[in-house]
Structure 1
Amino acid sequence: MSSPSGADLHAGALADSSGARPHITVLLHEAVDALLHADADPNGLYVDGTFGRGGHSRLLLSRLGPQGRLVALDRDPAAQIAAASIQDPRFSLRHARFSEWAEVVAELGLGPVSGLLLDVGVSSPQIDAPERGFSFRADGPLDMRMDPTRGESAAEFLARADVRTLAEVIREYGEERFAGPIAKALVARRESGPALERTRDLAELVARVVKTREPGQDPATRTFQALRIHVNAELEELRSALDGTLKSLGLGGRLAVISFHSLEDRIVKRFIQTHSKDEPDRRAPFAPARQMPLQAIARIHPGADEVAANPRSRSAVLRVAQRAH
């Protein structure tokens, strides 16, 4: 099996094939420890629904037993390149959305699943590559797709959406209080000038509209987040992926989800709460409460050392649940 050095595994640092700065895997040991806990089966089936650059997968493989199996998914073609260095018969990667993990497991004739890991949101290598269009800090094409071979780019969405649709997307997914004025400015630009096709053009337009912002936050932060979430249907993907745990996670199997902003974390929190609290039967108030399928296990934030080493981890939260029934 090919893997990083022990020092790299400890730090979660993985060099990107483009030569960009190393990608530091967030909550690396905490997430893997949550899945491969003391009572877990090291020879079970595990799923990394968001392979990225493989930090979590590599550590999982180093701790699996000889009969263990790890199935990873990612819709970013760059993940396929990163995975090529893993020569391990226990590992396989599918080019698929993480919402499709249960279907992939079923197609492979595998199951039940002993552990599912989801590290949702955009990754550092994607942000740091100007040609992907995720960041307002460097100029690039206004793309923002996790899989640049499929679907509508951010530029294409901006070229067709009306003011109401734009305002709804920016307000709902970016939690942007200036969503209305930004949407109007976007449509006015489209009607009076060349199409918005570059990240710098979009960032400059938003900065002209948003006059006040929290200290240290770029005026375009929330708009870029909103467009990225919309283009990739990220919240719908997360809901579908979570629903899959109710049919494919085995008894005692663990769900571990790392999220990076409140919209994602709220979905995960509510899902676990909804399916972990026993419900009384209102028609038979003295009967035993109906047992729910999940048990909430933990909520974990990065420690001070990790945040100091990787400031992008500061907003991360790991939620863990276990299949109970």
Structure 2
Amino acid sequence: MGKRSMPEVSKASGPHVPVLLNEVVAALSPLAGKRIVDGTFGAGGYSRALLAGGADVIAIDRDPSVLPFAQTLDEAFPTQFSFVPGTFSGLDHLAGGRGVIDGVVLDIGVSSMQLDEADRGFSFMRDGPLDMRMSADGQSAADLVNTLETEALANLLYAFGEERKSRRIAQFIVAARETAPIVTTLDLARVIEKAIGRKPGDAHPATRSFQALRIAVNAEFEQLVEGLFAAERLLDEGGTLAVISFHSLEDRIVKRFFDPEKGGPMQSRHLPQVEMATRRWAKVAKAIKPGSEELSRNPRARSSILRTARRTGAKARPTSSEGLGMPVVRGT
């Protein structure tokens, strides 16, 4: 099989344009013989670029709608590519037993194809069922919106969406559902806009509330923490982890995971201090954000942040959210 040229970001295939693609590829150096896990496969943009560089790729995703993209890459790179359905929180089990893993990439965001499919219920810009489930299992956003009491709903919107007007929004939602259940994305968006208004030039008033509900429905913070520690267990010394996050709450968790000193002790205060001080990650790179050229091509990249680090030889830690700044919904 001949050597393939590396694709530029603008040439990435599929409906979802992967953000910071060139920077991710540079960090992971996908040379022939390397084995890399794409823990959030989506439409396969990162996987395709890594495969084109010569690496073997093990792709993971819990969304069944990505299967056609996985099949396309399997046909194009039959000896290099494999797909495993599942959540990246268990990537060490899903990708383990396949030899040394040289890198892991995690894109902690909703893909454009999910946002653009109205029936998935992720976007307030398109009318569809108020769902937001990435795997079609468990509670939907409609379940939360129509069952949570006012205080619990307000606390969720504040903790996961950093929505300062969460209490007023929750009050309007509870009042609206007394007339009829809120079952579509536009139903909810209208209620939120009625609650807090909309100023010209500002982001849509439902932005933070939709983020909060999506995070809650998919247990995204728990998935992120478990995925980070799974990568720590999976990667041997010298392996690289690249994580792309899309808002400050996620980025804070990633930053403190790589550098525990930023957030205080991550493990129980009862463990020996020497154990807490052991560094599992070295060469922690400065955060990278997209440049003006990429933003002009892909406005959805504007909030993305890439952080990378290299695994040391220290023993992996037990999974723990302590010290990571995990948002907590009060009253739960």
- With the shorter chain as reference, the TM-score category is 0.7 to 0.9
Structure 2: which 5+ runs fail to align? 266-271, 314-332
Displacement of 1:297 after TM fit? Answer: 2.6
Q: CA deviation at 1:27?
A: 0.7
Root mean square deviation of aligned Cα: 2.9
In the alignment, structure 1 residue 85 sits paired with structure 2 residue 75: no
Distance in 1 between residues matched to 2:162 and 2:68, nearest whole Å: 35
Given that 2:9 and 2:18 are in contact with CA atoms closer than 8 Å, whether structure 1 keeps it comes out as no
TM-score by length of 2: 0.84
Alpha-carbon distance in structure 1 between the residues aligned to 2:238 and 2:152: 43
SS at match of 2:259: helix
**Counterpart for residue 130 of structure 1:** 118
The CA distance in 1 between the partners of 2:180 and 2:198, in whole Å, is 27
Given that 1:100 and 1:241 are in contact with CA atoms closer than 8 Å, whether structure 2 keeps it comes out as yes
- Tell me: CA distance 1:237–1:127, structure 2 relative to 1, closer, same or farther (3 Å): same
Partner of 2:158: 171
Structure 1 distance, partners of 2:206, 2:245, is: 21
Q: TM-score, normalised by structure 1?
A: 0.86
Q: What's the offset of the Cα at 1:250?
A: 0.9
Distance (whole Å) between structure 2 residues aligned to residue 290 and residue 135 of structure 1: 43
1:263 & 1:180 partners in 2: Cα distance?
A: 20
Match of residue 243 from structure 1: 229
Whether 2:181 is the aligned partner of 1:195: answer: yes
Q: Residues of 2 paired with 1:63 and 1:227: CA distance?
A: 38
- Please tell me whether the aligned partners of residues 35 and 102 of structure 2 are also in contact (alpha carbons under 8 angstroms): yes
Change (3 A) 1:58 1:7: closer
Deviations 1:235-258 (A, max 9, x none): 111011011122211110000001
Check whether the contact 2:108–2:243 (CA below 8 A) recurs between aligned residues: yes
Q: 1:142 aligns with which of 130, 141, 148?
A: 130
Please list the CA deviations of residues 157-210 of structure 1 after superposition, one character each: whole Å capped at 9, or x if unmatched.
22221112211110011100111111111112222x111111111000000111
Is the CA contact 2:6–2:49 (under 8 Å) kept in the aligned structure 1? no
Match of 1:114 among 81, 102, 106: 102
| Residues 1-325 of structure 1 mapped to structure 2, 5 A cutoff | 9-16=8-15, 23-36=16-29, 42-64=32-54, 68-86=55-73, 87=75, 88-106=78-96, 109-148=97-136, 150-191=137-178, 193-211=179-197, 215-274=201-260, 291-295=278-282, 296-325=284-313
Task: Give the drift of 1:44.
Answer: 2.8
Percent identity over the alignment? 42
The answer to whether the Cα contact below 8 Å between 1:168 and 1:179 also exists between their aligned partners in 2 is yes
Q: Which runs of 4+ in 1 moved over 3 A?
A: 5-10, 212-215
Quick one: distance in 2 between partners of 1:262 and 1:276?
A: 15
Residues 91-117 of structure 1 show CA distances to partners (whole Å, capped at 9, x for unaligned) of: 1111111111111123xx224321000
Deviations 1:97-144 (A, max 9, x none): 1111111123xx224321000011101111111111111111111011
Q: Is the 8 A contact 1:275 1:293 kept in 2?
A: no
Unpaired runs of 5+ residues, structure 1, are 17-22
- Spell out, residue by residue over 1:58-100, the C-alpha distance to the aligned partner (whole angstroms, 9 max, x if none): 0101112xxx531111111111111111122221111111111
